[in-house]
Amino acid sequence: MSKTRLQLNKETFVAIFFTVLMTTLIIATLVSTVTVLRRIYLNGSADGNQNPIDTESVNEALRILSM
């Protein structure tokens, strides 16, 4: 007997749900990162104002993170 209705068991539904959720979060993170990097490139600042980024602080933070 063939089933005409698609039936998903609980594990399959949970797997599809979390796959869609994680994909959405990854895309949102990438869009946010690109937006901030564009602002830094175009304005020289991460916020909407024209406050320049302190490059010494950024370099120091990167140096600490790379340890």
pTM value? Answer: 0.53
**Which two tokens mark 2?**
């063939």
pLDDT at 50: 64
Q: Cα–Cα distance between 1 and 10 in angstroms, integer? A: 23
E-only strand ranges, 1-67: none
pLDDT over threshold 90, residue 5: no
Tens of pLDDT, residue by residue over 16-58, are: 999 999 999 999 999 998 888 887 777 666 666 666 667 787 7
**Which two tokens mark 51?**
């406050």
pLDDT at 17: 94
Q: Cα–Cα distance between 38 and 16 in angstroms, integer? A: 33
